[in-house]
Structure formats: C-alpha cells, structure tokens
Structure 1
Amino acid sequence: MRKSAVLLALMTTTVLTGCYHYPIPAPCPAIAQATVVSVTVARDYTAQVGTLHLKACQGGVCKESDLELFAGSDSIDQGCTPEGGCSATASPNGTRLGMLMLDSLTEELMDLTATGTAPDGSALPVRTLEFRPRGAYPFGEHCGRFITASVNLDANGLRQSDPE
C-alpha cells in the first residue's frame, strides 16, 4: 500500500511538472490556404473601373482571367461578452475586391499585369508590378507558413498591399 501511494505521488508530480515545462501549442485552425492574387481597387478609383483583367506570372507559369469585383468591407468590432463570446460586423468601405485563382503560389517573384475598361467602355491604363508574395505564420510556426499575394490598384497604378 505504501509503495502504491509513493508511486502515485511520484507519477502525479512528474505529470504536473511535465505539463509546466512542456506547454502544448494551441491547435491549428482547420483551414486551407487559398492560392490567389487578391486585388483591392481603392475607394477613390472604383468609379473609374468597369471591368478588370489580371495576368499573374510566377516561375514561368502564367494565369489570367477577368475578375469578378465585389464590394469591400471593414470589420467592426462588436466587443466580447463576459462569457467569452466575441463578434464583429462588416461595414462597406467603398473599395472593390477581386481574386485570381492560381494553381500554386510561392515566395518567388511574380509579374502582375492589370488591364480593363472604364464604365464607358474606354480602356484603362495598363498597370504592371513585379513583387514578391509574402510568407508568414499567422497561427504560429507549428501551423505552417501561409503565403499571400495582395495588391492595391488606384489611379497611380498597382502596389503591393502592406502587411497587416
């Protein structure tokens, strides 16, 4: 009996100190990365854009398509309850968003060309950009690296989006 009590105390101490010294990382979200180039048309430029066509080339492979543009929005924090439930709502911000689906996406240099038409049918200026998609660990290194390719389009042309 005495040996059992000592053994139980030793195992409990080992388990408790083991947890203290070796924290378990937070679980990874069950989401897949989308291999896309996303374009945000600036609020003050949306009235000049009727259609938008995007061509992206990376590693000798090019993909292009007309983009479906949809209304952009900002997330407005609605706060959290004492029980820990949090919420947010979307508020239109005047931008328009489009995405070009790719077969793959790496951190290798990418050449991007945007063309399109104004609402009156006239051609928009051809805009080009060479940039490097960004890699990050938004959910921790144990969850893997996510690569994003996001650009902004305005009257001055294309530019890589700032990291958030």
Structure 2
Amino acid sequence: MRKFVAIAALACTALLAAGCQPETACPAIAQAQVVALTVARDYAASVRAVQLKACQAGRCTEAELELFPGTTTVDQGCEPGPYGGDRPCSATSSPDGTLTGMLMFEPLGDSPMEVTSSGTDANGLPLPVRTLTFTPRVAYPFGGQCGRFITAGVVLDAGGLRQAP
C-alpha cells in the first residue's frame, strides 16, 4: 500500500509540474504573402508604372503594380511616468520619397525566386527590363514556437534590382 501511495504521489507531482510550465502566447497575425517592391528615392521621379513578374518553384505571377508613396517611421518618444516607468510612446509616418507596391504571391516559399521588373518612365518610354534571382528571408519574429515569416522584397533603382535589406 505504501508503494502505491508513493507512486501515486510521484505521478501527481509530475502531472502538476508539467501543467505549470509557462506557455508562450503567439500573436494571431497573418503574414501577407507578397513580393514587395520599393522604388528608390533617387529613381522614383523617373518611374510612371512598374510591371513585376515573380517565379518560384515553377509558379509565376505577374501584374502591373499600384504604386504608393513610401514612408518612414519617425519616433516621437515616450513621456516619463510618475514613478520612473514610461508612459505610452508614439510614432508617426513621414513621406520618404520612395514608391512602394506589392505583388500577391501565394504560397510564398523559402526557395530561390526570380523577379523581373519592366514598366514605363515619366515620359512614357520603356524602363530597362531588370531581373534578380534571390532567396526570400526567413525569420521567427515571435520565437521558434510561433512559426516563421517569409519575406520577399526588392528595391529598384537606376542600377537595377537588388534584394531589400
């Protein structure tokens, strides 16, 4: 009987210890599966329209992108709290002279992809056709237990296409 009580107590302790492990809450954020394009500030005035084609693992998607003014985040700081802690902080966005657009690409994978840009300049003349092969970036912004985010971004400037930082 003593062995049974000892085993039962040990089992209950193990169950309680396992039940008290901290769980990590993962944010319920869905990732947009897109190839993001940024037209560099020094080239943006030269661009009227951009056609983007992306291919990965035998699948291709192509579209003329709707271009929007790009922005940068400006930190407005935090007010000190009454007892040394910070109060809510704030930031705002400010135009940065770039243009941005997105090409929907589902499902976006982590294998190499080829992106080709074409379009028209401010005078309606064809832009040079530019092609870049790169591997999308993989990150775990909320920890390994919360899944990975895959991002594919390119920058277009007078010199061509390059992978976004």
- Which interval holds the TM-score relative to the shorter structure? 0.7 to 0.9
CA distance in structure 1 between the partners assigned to 2:95 and 2:149 by the alignment:
27
CA-atom RMSD in angstroms: 1.8
Identity of aligned residues (%): 58
Cα displacement (A) at 1:141:
1.2
Is 95-104 or 82-91 further displaced after alignment?
82-91
Instruction: Tell me by how many angstroms 1:23 deviates.
Output: 4.3
The CA deviation string for residues 70-116 of structure 1, in whole angstroms up to 9 with x for no partner, is 01111111222435422210011000100000121011110110000
Residue of structure 1 aligned with 2:42, choices 15, 20, 44: 44
Matched pairs, number: 145
For residue 120 of structure 1, what is the amino acid of its counterpart? N
Aligned pairs for 1:55-134 within 5 A? 55-81=53-79, 82=81, 84-134=87-137
Give the distance between the partners of 1:97 and 1:129, measured in 2 at CA. Answer: 18
- Displaced runs of 4 or more, over 4 A: none
Give unpaired runs (5+ residues) of structure 1.
1-10
Counterpart of 1:4 in structure 2 is none
TM-score (norm. length: structure 1): 0.82
Amino acid across the alignment from 1:101? M
Aligned equivalents of 1:138 and 1:157: distance in 2? Answer: 30
Letter in 1 for 2:149: F
Structure 2 length normalisation: TM-score?
0.82
